[in-house]
Amino acid sequence: MQPDQYAVMGHPIAHSQSPRIHALFAIQTGQNLEYRAILVEPGGFAAAARAFRDAGGKGLNVTVPFKQDAWVFADVLSARAERAGAVNTLSFESTGARGDNTDGPGLVRDLKVNHGCALGGRRILLLGAGGAARGVLQPLLAEQPAQLVIANRTAGKAAELALRFGDLGSVSGCGFADLAGRSFDLIINATAAGLNDAAPPLPDGVLAADGWCYDLMYGREPTAFVRWGRERGATQSLDGLGMLVEQAAEAFHRWRGVCPETKPVIAALRSG
Ligand code: ATR
């Protein structure tokens, strides 16, 4: 039988790890599928997604810069995707294109299950107020932290985002300098500062004595924010490779109805 077809669409896409991750999941679970990376030009997402679906494609992952386009494209949205305003997983079903966002659940699973980091009752600081931050807010708030503060270079955007999610828990927004004198048990970096190999400018003391750091970005070498956490004695300072694999597992489960094991896949990616 022909393998079922899946793909990830983005721009750029050449360095995406998703084909490797899904190929490892497929081998592990004995699923008959093919998964490839498709480069889509800006403005071309809807046409590319439609063409893929019309050719028999079963599902798509969507990455930068098309997550909002995928949100618009979906016929039906999960509650968390609806809130996030972004879709990273599309399932082509007989009833239409179902959109979900598995980024936030991926982050929460990596923290809680893979690393044993409790989130309930903790003081969480989320850095950034763009698409990446919005994608993880609802699942983080569902863990019922004592407080969740969003800090952003442009303070107004953090305040706006906090307002939008305020019905889900204790969440507020501010600028980086407003964090002086406060400290947090977990600091999550969802800014794009790492693209310049920099950590956001945070006041001293913002990381609690036994605090954790988590960077949504990952790389071969420790990211600038992971280094920032280590330099300040974080109990753990983690990059986002585990989240990447966990969000893929959640998508795979949605598509195939089976849960792949993530630990061996994370280990395989870590070793190159
Ligand atoms: P993404 O989808 O990756 O979240 P985005 O929506 O463009 O991308 O958002 C980028 C985020 O990184 C924003 O919060 C941005 O801050 P502003 O809202 O002030 O632009 C943040 N950011 C980008 N470069 C940064 C830097 N050098 N230092 C701190 N924050 C930065």
Residue 256: pLDDT above 90? yes
CB atoms within 10 A of CB 168: 15
Active site residue 67: yes
Q: What is the C-alpha to C-alpha distance for residues 224 and 200, in angstroms, rounded to an integer? A: 9
Confidence of residue 149 (pLDDT cuts 50, 70, 90): very high
Confidence of residue 272 (pLDDT cuts 50, 70, 90): confident
152 lines ligand 1 (CB under 6 A): yes
Q: pLDDT class for 228, splitting at 50, 70, 90?
A: very high
Which of 58, 67, 112, 263 is an active site residue?
Answer: 67
Q: What's the confidence (pLDDT) of residue 34? A: 98
Instruction: Give residue 174 CA to ligand 1 midpoint distance, Å.
Output: 14
Segment 93-108 shows an average pLDDT of 97
Pocket of ligand 1 contains residue 153 by CB under 6 Å = yes
How many A from CA of 79 to the centre of ligand 1?
25
Q: Ligand 1 centre from 268 Cα, in Å?
A: 30
Residue of minimum CA distance from atom 9 in ligand 1: 130
For ligand 1, say whether the CB of 129 is within 6 Å of any of its atoms: yes
Q: How far is the CA of 194 from the centre of ligand 1 (A)?
A: 10
DSSP labels, 10-78: ESS-TT-SHHHHHHHHHHHHT--EEEEEEE--TT-HHHHHHHHHHTT--EEEE-TT-HHHHHHH-SEE-
Amino acid sitting at position 12:
P
Residue ID of nearest Cα to ligand 1 atom 31: 193
Average pLDDT over residues 111-130: 97
CB 141 within 8 A of CB 149: no
Q: Is the CB of 266 under 6 A from ligand 1?
A: no
Strand partners, 153: none
For the segment 28-41, the average pLDDT, to the nearest whole number, is: 98
> 85 in ligand 1 pocket by Cβ < 6 Å?
no
Whether 175 is in the pocket of ligand 1, judged by its Cβ within 6 Å, is no
Q: What atom of ligand 1 comes closest to residue 64's alpha carbon?
A: 2
Per-chain mean pLDDT for the chain: 97
Question: What domains are there in the chain, each with its CATH number?
Answer: 4-101+243-270 (3.40.50.10860), 117-239 (3.40.50.720)
Whether residue 1 is predicted with pLDDT greater than 90 in this model: the reply is: no
- Say if residue 19's pLDDT is above 90: yes
Q: What is the pTM of this model?
A: 0.96
- Eight-class DSSP state of 214: E
Share of the chain above pLDDT 90, in %: 98
> pLDDT at residue 209 above 90?
yes
pLDDT at 178: 98
pLDDT value at residue 104: 97
Give the separation between CA 178 and CA 193, rounded to whole angstroms.
18
Is 188 near ligand 1, meaning CB less than 6 Å away?
A: no
Residue 243 Cα to ligand 1 middle (Å): 19
Binned at pLDDT 50, 70 and 90, residue 5 comes out as very high
When pLDDT is cut at 50, 70 and 90, the band that residue 33 belongs to is very high
